Amino acid sequence: MQRIALTVEFDGYGFCGWQRQKNGPSIQEALETALAVIDSSPVACMAAGRTDAGVHGEAMLAHADVRRERYERSPMAYVHGVNQLLPEQIRVLGTRAVQADFHARFDCRERAYRYQIWNRRTAPAIERWRHWWMPRPLDIADMNKAAALLLGKHDFSSFRAAGCQAASAQRELRQLRVTQSACCVCIDVRADAFLYHMVRNLVGSLVRVGVGKWPVERIQGLLEARDRSQCAETAPAHGLYFTNAIYDVFESRQIISRGDA
Amino acid sequence: MQRIALTVEFDGYGFCGWQRQKNGPSIQEALETALAVIDSSPVACMAAGRTDAGVHGEAMLAHADVRRERYERSPMAYVHGVNQLLPEQIRVLGTRAVQADFHARFDCRERAYRYQIWNRRTAPAIERWRHWWMPRPLDIADMNKAAALLLGKHDFSSFRAAGCQAASAQRELRQLRVTQSACCVCIDVRADAFLYHMVRNLVGSLVRVGVGKWPVERIQGLLEARDRSQCAETAPAHGLYFTNAIYDVFESRQIISRGDA
């Protein structure tokens, strides 16, 4: 067998999230089913992160053990074969061979997400499934001031969902930056790892600041309170994109096949 | 009555195009139906251009005569009222009062479109309805050389579809520019007006150059031939966006409500 890392792009609309569930189609199930057909035997996949229902993936990283001879004959043909078996909402962008003990989740040093907001008086007609619509004007400078208060190692209990199973709520937030281009407001966020609903709760709270409902300083108090009930509403899933998984020797964004191999 | 100009955004997927047709839902029909409900009487709309089935609009301009008192009470409330009656794929972004003889089509001095190509070995999972997928690498420099040969006033018979009803095939192409950002290739095009399928035929021919099937010079010969049968295949509709309609005193892109009025 050969362990491989796969970078996967997916439109999360209509899926119950990355992880296999009983209540609906998942990205993991679709990918494992396609790999099993190619390999003629069951294949298990592990990913860098579990995304919620409706969240999109631009470059999710998964690992799987596959038949070495089939993969090595032509990695690109292998990718094309898997893609032909996947629904059109999911595509493997590329693969690379990794060591037998590589683990997509445990070896991941940093995850990156982007949250997209459509900030305009009227709802988006074209981008309606790709952004959270926010009709009230956002103060980007204030949002960035609030974001700066959250950077670093903290207990993020105020931003974790009730169902979160992580043993510790301590995470290191390494980037939280708000930028605007025309009516699109993007929030880029990076951390060693994230708690359940943490990105969407961070976004919901920054938006409260952005629309002027909360003063910037309230974010400091919220962080220190370690109390989810003081947090803002969770931002909707369809504006969230998993954008990168960073490992010691590569990033998921880099595993995108460009050549003719 | 008050004649108003409306800037309209629409996702063309599932529509038979701008113009009212017997064979499917159109943007014009949806807009006229919504305006008629607000005005309690039939309303007719004319647009700057007729888009094909599946083509998107970022800022199409239409004009209509509406009841002055209802519109003037609050133009923004009028817009919100219309939007609540429209399907979610169509939104009026803003309006402005114009003179009674203003005409969205005949007064338009210039139209702009953008064509989006996803240039990557693997198909787009997230952007699959918004771009034409082109797996072979595109030579952007060659495409721009070919584009430069088409600028100016010419007879564009080679790029018009068989069903085109325009009396003359002469048009002035004022911009045709190819740019690349990551795997997204954009073709921006501006002209006084366009023939039927002209943008999609221009794109199809530039892509032939980009993948190396045609030498740059062939575009010159194609233009001079005035013969549609020598042209490349028509690029698919779902990569095309109507982006601007330019008039003497305003552009459709400028009529986007931002205030609270």
Show the 3-state SS of A16-43: CCCCCCCCCCCHHHHHHHHHHHHHCCCC
Q: Which of B83, B89, B126 sits opposite A9 (nearest CB)?
A: B126
CATH number at residue A17: 3.30.70.580
Residue B90 belongs to some domain of the structure: yes
Residue-wise pLDDT tens digits, A187-200: 999 999 999 999 99
CA A220 → CA A11, A147, A173, A188, A193, distances in Å?
Answer: 34, 10, 14, 20, 21
Residue A176 belongs to some domain of the structure: yes
Cβ neighbours of A76 in B, within 8 Å: 121
Same domain, B124 and B235: yes
Residue A59 token pair: 């470059």
Residue-wise pLDDT tens digits, A197-235: 999 999 999 999 999 999 999 999 999 999 988 889 999
Same domain, B14 and B58: yes
Q: Which of B90, B122, B258 sits opposite A125 (nearest CB)?
A: B90
Cβ neighbours of B181 in A, within 8 Å: none
Q: What is the mean pLDDT of residues A104-110?
A: 98
Residue A252 belongs to some domain of the structure: no
For an interface test with B, which of A15, A90, A122, A256 has the most B Cβ atoms less than 10 Å from its Cβ? A122
Task: Say what the pLDDT of residue B165 is.
Answer: 84
Question: What is the signed CA dihedral for A51, A53, A57, A63, rounded to 10 degrees?
Answer: 50
Task: Say what the pLDDT of residue A57 is.
Answer: 98
Residue B123: closest C-alpha in chain A: A91
Residue A260: closest C-alpha in chain B: B121
Same domain, A161 and A214: yes
Distance of residue A57 Cα from the nearest chain B Cα, in angstroms: 8
Same domain, B96 and B197: no
CA angle (A112 as vertex; A219, B131 as ends), nearest 5 = 120
Characterize A125-159 residue by residue with b for buried, 16 or more Cβ atoms within 10 angstroms of its Cβ, and e for exposed: bbbebbbbebeeebeeebbbebbebbeeebebbbb
For chain B, how many structural domains are there in total? Answer: 2
For an interface test with B, which of A82, A88, A126 has the most B Cβ atoms less than 10 Å from its Cβ? A126
Where residue A164 falls among pLDDT bands split at 50, 70, 90? Answer: confident
Where residue A113 falls among pLDDT bands split at 50, 70, 90? Answer: very high
Residue B238: closest C-alpha in chain A: A126
Same domain, B101 and B117: no
Kindly list the catalytic residues of B.
Answer: 52
Residue A171: φ, ψ to 5°: -140, 155
Residue B257 belongs to some domain of the structure: no
Please tell me the distance from the alpha carbon of residue A113 to that of residue A98, in angstroms, as a whole number: 24
Same domain, B37 and B57: yes
Judged by CB atoms closer than 8 Å, whether chains meet at A88 and B123 is answered as: yes
Cβ neighbours of B137 in A, within 8 Å: 258
Task: Say what the pLDDT of residue B260 is.
Answer: 44
Q: Which of A91, A125, A259 sits opposite B89 (nearest CB)?
A: A125
Where residue A260 falls among pLDDT bands split at 50, 70, 90? Answer: very low
Of A106, A140, A165, the last residue of a domain is A106
Q: What is the mean pLDDT of residues A55-62?
A: 98
Residue A94: closest C-alpha in chain B: B122
Q: Which of A91, A128, A259 sits opposite B122 (nearest CB)?
A: A91
Task: Say what the pLDDT of residue B162 is.
Answer: 85
Please tell me the distance from the alpha carbon of residue B23 to that of residue B15, in angstroms, as a whole number: 10
Of B91, B106, B121, the last residue of a domain is B106
Please tell me the distance from the alpha carbon of residue B112 to that of residue A225, in angstroms, as a whole number: 53
Residue A8: closest C-alpha in chain B: B125
Of B90, B106, B122, the last residue of a domain is B106
Cβ neighbours of B128 in A, within 8 Å: 11, 88-89
Read off the amino acid at residue B77.
A
Task: Say what the pLDDT of residue B119 is.
Answer: 96
Same domain, A180 and A207: yes
Whether the predicted interface score ipTM is above 0.85? yes
Residue B260 belongs to some domain of the structure: no
Q: Which of A9, A258, A259 sits opposite B125 (nearest CB)?
A: A9
Judged by CB atoms closer than 8 Å, whether chains meet at A83 and B121 is answered as: no
* DSSP letter string, B61-95: EEEEEE-HHHHHH-HHHHHHHHHHHS-TTEEEEEE
Same domain, A92 and A126: no
CATH number at residue A152: 3.30.70.660
Same domain, B39 and B158: no
Residue A166 in this model has a pLDDT that exceeds 90: no
Residue B202 belongs to some domain of the structure: yes
Distance of residue B121 Cα from the nearest chain A Cα, in angstroms: 6
B223's torsion region: left (phi>0), alpha (psi -120 to 50) or beta?
alpha
Residue-wise pLDDT tens digits, A21-30: 998 999 999 9
Please tell me the distance from the alpha carbon of residue B40 to that of residue B37, in angstroms, as a whole number: 5
Query: Tens of pLDDT along chain B (261 residues)?
Result: 999 999 999 999 999 999 999 989 999 999 999 999 999 999 999 999 999 999 999 999 999 999 999 999 999 999 999 999 999 999 999 999 999 999 999 999 999 999 999 999 999 999 999 999 999 999 999 999 999 999 999 999 999 998 888 889 999 999 999 999 999 999 999 999 999 999 999 999 999 999 999 999 999 999 999 998 888 999 999 999 999 999 999 999 999 876 543
Please tell me the distance from the alpha carbon of residue B214 to that of residue B147, in angstroms, as a whole number: 13
Same domain, A205 and A177: yes
Residue A255 belongs to some domain of the structure: no
Cβ neighbours of B83 in A, within 8 Å: 122-123
Same domain, B57 and B117: no
Distance of residue A257 Cα from the nearest chain B Cα, in angstroms: 6
Residues of chain A above pLDDT 90, percent? 92
Residue A93: closest C-alpha in chain B: B122
> Around Cβ A98, how many Cβ atoms within 10 Å?
18
Same domain, B43 and B139: no
Q: What is the mean pLDDT of residues A147-176?
A: 94
Residue B158 token pair: 């080679």
Kindly list the catalytic residues of A.
Answer: 52
Structural domain span for residue B136:
110-244
Q: Which of A10, A79, A89 sits opposite B122 (nearest CB)?
A: A79
Residue B250 belongs to some domain of the structure: no
pTM, to two decimals: 0.93
Taking any CB pair shorter than 8 Å as contact, residues of chain B touching chain A are 9-11, 56, 58, 76, 79-80, 83, 88-94, 120-126, 128, 130, 137, 256-259
